[in-house]
């Protein structure tokens, strides 16, 4: 059985997207799906947010004041702390599926870098990572994605002006997934067909980065397509749930072959 852990998106700084409203519908769908018996439990992690961008709509709950002051690695540290808390409360080792949406997918893969800095007993990498509408190459996001001025603003808010840092923390630039994720079994990258913010190039560059890792026996790299725009998919919940359901089926297939 597996635990499913969600990491919400929101460009590191949208207070209207929370751990609760992001995953609520997907969790209901999953526990009513064909793979429900394979799911031991679910969780959704919040993290501190970066300053609100000037071009960003006013949050539905009103002004946030100085509450949003996080900058990398604050978001990542919070995600790691959340996973470690869950491990202490419900020990599950590597039997979990980390599911990140948009910048949540960035954070999911960044946990592998952080994992290499912790003792194995304090942080264990997941067997599977699902990236939905993921951001894997941050400079590329600024340079060629559909809304470069907006992307520039959100990267400055979350990662400062150091563009070398943008590159270094981009999962698509990691040079040794074999070392970082030796226990990993499954990488799933899901693309939203009508995504108005994230280009297909993000998926392509991550697929290339994982190519050598995925050639080892007992591992799979899968690409899934979902209909809908960038936010439609998670708001409906069914797209997230479908990605997780298919991923559990993939892992079960690997297990049936004794790997």
The answer to whether 247 is a known catalytic residue is: no
In the sheet with 220-226, reading across from the earlier edge strand, the strands are 39-45, 2-7, 96-101, 128-132, 186-192, 220-226
Cα–chain center distance at 258: 28
Rounded to 5 degrees, what are φ and ψ at 46? -95, 160
Rounded to 5 degrees, what are φ and ψ at 129? -125, 130
Lookup: tokens for 252: 């079960």
Cis before 73 (ω within 30): yes
How far is 86 from 3, CA to CA, in rounded Å? 10
Q: Which listed residue (44, 50, 102, 247) is catalytic? A: 102
Helix then strand count (H, E) for the chain reads: 11, 6
How many CA within 13 A on the CB side of residue 89? Answer: 10
Under 8 Å between Cβ of 95 and 184 = no
Under 8 Å between Cβ of 170 and 134 = no
The catalytic residue positions are: 102
């Amino acid at each position: 059985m597996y635990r499913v852990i969600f990491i919400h998106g929101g460009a590191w700084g949208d207070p209207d997207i929370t751990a609760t409203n992001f995953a609520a519908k997907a969790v209901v769908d999953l526990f009513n799906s064909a793979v429900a018996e394979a799911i031991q439990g679910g969780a959704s992690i919040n993290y501190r947010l970066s300053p609100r961008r000037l071009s960003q709509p006013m949050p539905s709950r009103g002004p946030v004041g100085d509450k949003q002051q996080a900058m990398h690695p604050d978001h990542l540290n919070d995600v790691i702390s959340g996973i470690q808390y869950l491990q202490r409360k419900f020990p599950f080792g590597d039997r979990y599926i980390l599911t990140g949406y948009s910048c949540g997918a960035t954070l999911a893969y960044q946990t592998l870098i952080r994992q290499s800095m912790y003792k194995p007993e304090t942080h264990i990498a997941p067997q599977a990572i699902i990236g939905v509408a993921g951001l894997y190459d941050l400079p590329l996001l600024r340079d060629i994605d559909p809304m470069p001025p907006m992307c520039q603003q959100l990267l400055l808010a979350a990662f400062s002006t150091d563009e070398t840092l943008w590159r270094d923390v981009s999962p698509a630039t990691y040079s040794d997934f074999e070392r970082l994720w030796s226990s990993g079994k499954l990488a799933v990258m899901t693309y939203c067909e009508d995504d108005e913010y994230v280009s297909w190039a993000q998926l392509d560059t991550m697929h290339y980065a994982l190519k050598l890792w995925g050639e080892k026996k007992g591992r799979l790299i899968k690409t899934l397509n979902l209909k809908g725009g960038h936010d439609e998919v998670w708001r409906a919940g069914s797209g997230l749930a479908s990605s997780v359901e298919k991923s559990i089926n993939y892992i079960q297939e690997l297990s049936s072959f004794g790997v």
